[in-house]
Amino acid sequence: MEIFFMFVLFFVFGAVVGSFLNVCIYRIPAKISIVWPPSHCPKCNNKIKWYDNIPILSYLILGAKCRNCKEKISPQYPAVEFLTAALTTLFFCNFGLTAWTFCALFCLYILIIVSFIDLKTFTIPDILSIGLIFFGLAVCFINPAFSGDLLSKFTSSITGASVGFFGSWGLAIFCSALIKKEALGGGDIKLMGAIGALSGCLGMANALILASFFGLICFAILAILKKTPENGAIPFGPFLSVGLIINLLFPNFNLLLIGV
């Protein structure tokens, strides 16, 4: 019973955070403050009452429509809330109530915002990607991905960040020269730096393999459904984020070390 209560508590906490992440996803690219004004309908500007702003539930109760003007509410809202709630519960179950759980959750929340902004705008705001690099360096001492004394933990983190950032930068220049168009966006390069800072060089390789794998599957599905975007481009940030989220959840799992 107690465990069930904890599950519900983690899920509700995650859903409430997810509701705030929706605000960030909508407002950060538009350069609007994330704390003011309070949530309102983008069409009729009606301020959303607290009872119409309950994560996941309000969307279902309102039948996906604004109470005032009946404008359709995007399914992105409950999707982000549910995703955040489910992953938050998973992180708490995996790590318990530790300082690292909250650090990993902070990274998770940034990555969810990054993914949805990248899907919508094909860009990743610097404040999020560069911010995550510095956050990764700052918390490397309690990061279970790194072992050894304080100096070796910091060395692993900063080496990962440098290889991730400069390595993918070099790769981007090389590939762009080869295919004569942008191969890897600037946002992806900074995100690679963040992946390195949070999971080191080996972890970064793991995240990159996972990201490419999921990216290819997604591309194949879109091709089968004949929904490939006209310019053939799909943002890579969400896939890199999935790779890093898997690294954060399973710090001891690495595809390169299977069987070693």
Nearest to Zn ion of 45, 152 (CB atom): 45
Separation between Cα atoms, residue 93 and residue 75, nearest integer Å: 27
> CB under 5 A: which stretch of 69-77, 93-101, 140-148, 212-220 binds Zn ion?
69-77
Binding mask 24-53 for Zn ion (x = CB under 5 A): -----------------x-xx---------
Could you say whether residue 66 binds Zn ion (CB under 5 A)? yes
Ordered DSSP codes for 94-126: HH-S-HHHHHHHHHHHHHHHHHHHHHHHS---H
Could you say whether residue 72 binds Zn ion (CB under 5 A)? no
CB of 65 to Zn ion, least distance (A): 8
Please give the angle made by the CA atoms of 152, 158 and 164, to the nearest 5 degrees: 130
> CB under 5 A: which stretch of 65-73, 137-145, 158-166, 205-213 binds Zn ion?
65-73
CB of 49 to Zn ion, least distance (A): 12
Give the number of other CB atoms < 10 A from CB of residue 4: 8
Among 39, 53, 68, 162, binds Zn ion (CB under 5 A): 68
Residues at the site binding Zn ion, with contacts judged by CB under 5 A: 41, 43-44, 66, 68-69, 71
